[in-house]
A = this chain, B = another copy of it.
Amino acid sequence: MDYILGVDGGGSSCRAAIATADGRLLGRGKAGSANIYSDPTQSLSSILHAAKEACKDAGLTEEALQQTFAVLGLAGANAHNDPIGLAENLPFAAVQVVSDSLIALEGAHGSDDGVIGILGTGSNFMARKGEKHYYLGGWGFHCGDQGSGAKMGERALEEALLAHDGLRSLCPLTEHILRQFDDDPRKLSEFARTAKPKDFGEFMPIILIYAKQQSRLALDIVEEGTTYVASALRLLSDDGKLPIALLGGLSHAYDAFLPPDLKQFFVPAKNDALRGALAMAERENALNT
């Protein structure tokens, strides 16, 4: 193929980059969420939109996509490999669908061994040890994603309703949340009925503000998430034998809460996930040429 395209599709947004076959970056694009676990249809349209934007940014026509080898790194892809036939519904000449964790690992550690924790709307962990890849978590919002913004946000809303019902004392965090719903629990419940993980995740900044003020419930929620994240990182890194990179919108927040004996193994990511996807696309395209 003449071109390569990398896509980094997460729960909140989807980014694409198009490059020449030898990796010279030509253009970038961005669109809405692309989590094929929680919304496959939206995911398809976000990928297409971001890819077209990248073409436009590169000064290419959309026909270029038909000459493109694409690596799509998508949230939810380790749980559900291409459930809606992305390959058939997208204009690319060839498509490889991988998890967003694999492109993030490639970006963060290059071809070296290492562990990543992706902490944002969802949560997801991965390690490479030699030839082997190990996945942990990333099972999605309903029975997984512990320590994610979505799960912690949902928990805070649940606590707000418990406080409204008189089963908990009101606290600054639950008062704040109830106020956002005009102190009407029916509005909160109606919000929760249709909320996507991303919508629950939007309560995370408030939780962090109250946690920093040492407010008990906010600290409890963050500590519950931290316990899970620390266990996952210890298990995958063999207690720190591999370097660990934290990624995602909550990585800085977790930096403040994770225990120092674990943090000594943290390294900064070499590159971002989008660069990881492009690097994989370049390698795979070269192999197929």
Contact = CB atoms under 8 A, between A and B. Distances in A.
A83 B193 CA distance: 12
A144 B165 CA distance: 11
A186 B137 CA distance: 11
Contacts of A228: 167
Given A79-B190, A80-B190, A193-B37, A185 B139 contact: yes
B158 A192 contact: no
A157 B186 contact: no
B165 A136 contact: yes
Given A167-B232, A231-B167, A235-B166, A139 B192 contact: yes
B166 A144 contact: no
Interface centre among A37, A140, A189, A232 (most CB of B within 10 A): A189
Instruction: Please give the count of copies of this chain that the complex contains.
Output: 2
A132 to B, nearest CB: 15
Interface string A166-196: 1100000000000000000110111011010
A79 B142 contact: no
A186 B143 contact: no
A154 interface: yes
B232 A80 contact: no
Contacts of A146: 158, 162
B144 A161 contact: yes
Contact-size category for A = 35 or more
Contacts of A67: none
A235 B79 contact: no
Contacts of A195: 142
A38 B193 CA distance: 7
B137 A37 contact: no
Interface in A107-152: 136-137, 139-140, 142-144, 146
B37 A189 contact: yes
Given A142-B195, A193-B37, A235-B166, A186 B80 contact: yes
A164 to B, nearest CB: 9
A14 B112 CA distance: 58
A192 B161 contact: no
Interface string A246-276: 0000000000000000000000000000000
A158 B186 contact: no
Nearest to A235: B166
A142 B188 CA distance: 10
Given A80-B193, A143-B158, 4 more contacts: A140-B189, A143-B154, A143-B161, A167-B232
A-B pairs with lowest CB-CB distance, top 5: A142-B192, A79-B189, A143-B158, A139-B189, A143-B192
